[in-house]
Amino acid sequence: MKNIYLALLCAMMLLLSCSKEDETTPDFNESKLAQLSVEFDNIVGDRTLTMNNSTNLYVNAANEKFSISSLQYFISNIEVTTTAGKVYVVKQDSSYFLISGADKATRFAKVSVPEGDYSKLKFTLGVDSLRSTMALDKRTGVLDPAYGGGHDFSGMYWGWNSGYIFFKFEGNAEVISNDVNGDPTRKHQFKYHIGGFGGYSAPTLNNIKNVTMDLTAGGVAKVRTGRQSNIHVLVDLMKVFNGKKNFSIAVHPTVMFSDFSTNVAANLIEMFKHDHTEN
């Protein structure tokens, strides 16, 4: 019996040893790629995003109650950095994603990167100027100006301005007003279509934003062949109103290709926060 116990103990130690070896960081080899996904989990403050909710409305810093009817945004040019400082830029043709609040299946941006331990994630909110000006045969899939795709995938390209809308956010709000009939609130439809890369009709308007995240606190991404690694990112839509450039829906119910769009774009960077990593 004692020999059996010893044999079991040796087997357990061997398994533990193998497990530790599996966690050894592999050599950085750009010819050996594995899958990494980035999950964009849309929330509003401390609540999960619910589209078209008519009760229990969200409330911004201006004390305006609102609901959300449309949400779409482009994520592109994904780049990761290992714990040793090696940078890998995902092949650009495979690095454009359109996230929709109406379709949870679109929340994952899946890319291929070398095996390794990654402590930094960088991506662009929007579509870079180089790709925006390429011929149509270089802008396919979600970048096709006529892309439909189902749900609320539509109208993410300004034909009149020959450029992409990076971030589309629409809804309805109840705002304080001095109604002549004594009604203290008034319904407002809001629309925020943010784009502009510094070209064409407004060369000084550049709303392309790069977001960089340190993954250390929430867990590095350990990318390995045959194993799924997922970087979970929270996207807080309340920051659209309550960011560096706080503003009121009543004062700015519609923002599109205008100078004020730069204020909204500045807030968008603050939406993204690394929550945790699943390996």
Q: Tell whether 273 is covered by a domain.
A: yes
Within a domain: 7: no
Number of domains in the chain: 1
Residue 190: its H or E element:
strand 185-195
Per-range mean pLDDT, top range of 116-120, 126-130, 193-197, 257-261: 116-120
- Residue 8 inside a domain? The answer is no
Tokens of 203: 């060369």
Residues 6+ apart with CB under 8 A from 244: 266, 267, 270
Amino acid at 73: Y
Closest C-alpha to 214, from 273, 268, 131: 273
3-state secondary structure at position 250: coil
Q: Is residue 39 part of a domain?
A: yes
The model's pLDDT over 153-183, given as tens digits with 9 standing for 90+, comes to 468 988 766 689 999 999 999 976 555 555 5
Write down the number of H helices and E strands in the chain.
3, 16
Q: Note whether residue 160 is domain-resident.
A: yes
What are the φ and ψ backbone dihedral angles of 12, each rounded to 5 degrees?
A: -65, -40
| Structural domain boundaries enclosing 102 | 29-278
Note the pLDDT tens digit of each residue in 221-259: 999 999 989 999 999 999 999 999 999 999 999 999 889
6 within a domain of the structure (yes/no): no
Query: Among 227, 238, 239, which Cα is nearest to 269's?
Result: 239
**pLDDT of amino acid 17:** 42
Q: Is residue 22 part of a domain?
A: no
